[in-house]
Amino acid sequence: ATGLVTLDPGYKNTGSTTSAITFLDGEKGVLRYRGYNIEELAEKASFLEVAYLIIFGELPDQASLTKFQTDVTNHTLIHEDMRKIFDGFPTTSHPMVVLSSLISVLSTFYPGSMESNRSDEEVYMSIVRLIAKVPTIAAWSYKNEMGHPVNYPDNSLNYGARFLKMMFALPTQEYDIDPVMVSALNKILILHADHEQNCSTSTIRIVGSSLANIYASVASATNALSGPLHGGANQQVIEMLEAIHSSGATIDEFMEKVKNREMRLMGFGHRVYKNFDPRAKILKKACDDILSKMGIEDPLLDIAKKLEKIALEDEFFIERKLYPNVDFYSGIIYRAMNLPTDMFTVMFAMGRLPGWIAQWKEMLEMKQPIGRPRQIYTGENERSFVPMSDRK
């Protein structure tokens, strides 16, 4: 192709596609999945109901939801041969590495997913398998890290309760499902479910555009999410709050470091939201609710609130339109749920999974061409080969 190439590093001003899945308004702080505001969905829907909505486009009627729930429940087990692969990971493995590796490995157990002319049934089953098996893989990656025996999914429980039991049940004692934690998990997964063309979603669209199978495409998105500027930020936020708490440094001293760019205020700022991230608003309130219901006093929440208050009144942040994003409060809730910090981004991936799947599916249904942007070359002009004897 010839003609002008417009450079746009990071695609800050590039629309990569049309999409009917998620609408967000960065100025007004609006986020809707298939037209429904997240405020309503987070209060009134279940995560599987929202996953169905995002992937298939409509809120399911009772029969469709029951079928989807049953299909997911019947596929929560992972093939026993995957245990051998699991056992190969050192306990020092970051759960995001285990998660993306094993999502990729799933394709070897379902060869039908590798065909480029996959049937609709094959696509539906690979969607069900991912939604069903990612929580099992996530919980097992945690058990691998703890050196604890893995728990098999208890299919008498709902999605959230089943995951928490796989995560925290121990052979040494009864595990009681805490409804506060189940409802907090449901809400936080819904809030992460999609976010239009963010880094990891753009990744799944471009990897999927080569007709790579769905498991490879989701594994690629998982890897993109693991970066500290993206999904990895929720782990960074807590580590930042813990550092402030343990260092005894005052918040003003910390803010000075941020303002002279020694570090970033993790969990703040957003490419699109130049006002409050609506998810952060909901999560901030959820923090207060959950911690008070669980009778937890978390000093990091107080530090977070002080940081937010200062940042919202400080010229440096105001002129850069930096507000708390989804990652700023989510870590506080994960801590209340006794999750270790390196599982936080895994929780983000579990929540974002339906969004990745929906965007992958939409890209294929739109028959979009393989992603292949251009560049402006700034390297050397033509030159001849230099024999070793002549090299300096």
Active site residue 277: no
327 binds ligand SDX (CB under 6 A): yes
Q: Give the Cβ contact number of residue 123 at 10 Å.
A: 18
308 binds ligand SDX (CB under 6 A): no
Instruction: State the catalytic residue, choosing from 75, 194, 270, 342.
Output: 270
Active site residue 327: yes
> Do the Cβ atoms of 306 and 245 come closer than 8 Å?
no
Angle, helix 179-191 to helix 159-168, in steps of 10 degrees: 110
Residues found in the chain: 392
21 binds ligand SDX (CB under 6 A): no
Cα distance between residue 128 and residue 104, in whole Å = 15
Angle (CA) 165-107-156 rounded to 5° is: 25
DSSP state of 148: P
Burial of 121 (0-12, 13-18, 19+ CB in 10 A): exposed
Instruction: State the catalytic residue, choosing from 194, 277, 327, 342.
Output: 327
320 binds ligand SDX (CB under 6 A): yes
Q: Give the Cβ contact number of residue 216 at 10 Å.
A: 18
296 binds ligand SDX (CB under 6 A): no
**Half-sphere exposure in the Cβ direction for 110 (13 Å, CA):** 26
Among 89, 142, 215, 268, binds ligand SDX (CB under 6 A): 268
Among 169, 326, 353, 363, binds ligand SDX (CB under 6 A): 326
Q: Which amino acid is at 169?
A: A
Query: And the tokens for 244?
Result: 């402030």
CB of 198 to ligand SDX, least distance (A): 3
270 binds ligand SDX (CB under 6 A): yes
Among 59, 154, 157, 230, binds ligand SDX (CB under 6 A): 230
Among 148, 264, 274, 293, binds ligand SDX (CB under 6 A): 264
> Do the Cβ atoms of 51 and 354 come closer than 8 Å?
yes
- Segment interacting with ligand SDX, rule: CB under 6 A, options 127-135, 239-247, 267-275, 281-289: 267-275
- Segment interacting with ligand SDX, rule: CB under 6 A, options 56-64, 322-330, 358-366, 376-384: 322-330
325 binds ligand SDX (CB under 6 A): yes
CB of 334 to ligand SDX, least distance (A): 15
Nearest to 269 by CA among 309, 311, 225: 311
- Segment interacting with ligand SDX, rule: CB under 6 A, options 48-56, 176-184, 207-215, 318-326: 318-326
- Between 50 and 123, name the residue whose CB sits nearer to ligand SDX: 50
> Do the Cβ atoms of 246 and 308 come closer than 8 Å?
no
Q: Rg of the chain's alpha carbons, rounded to an integer?
A: 22
Residues forming the site for ligand SDX (CB under 6 A): 10, 195, 198, 229-230, 233, 258, 264-271, 320, 322, 325-327
Any idea which residues carry the catalytic annotation? Answer: 270, 327
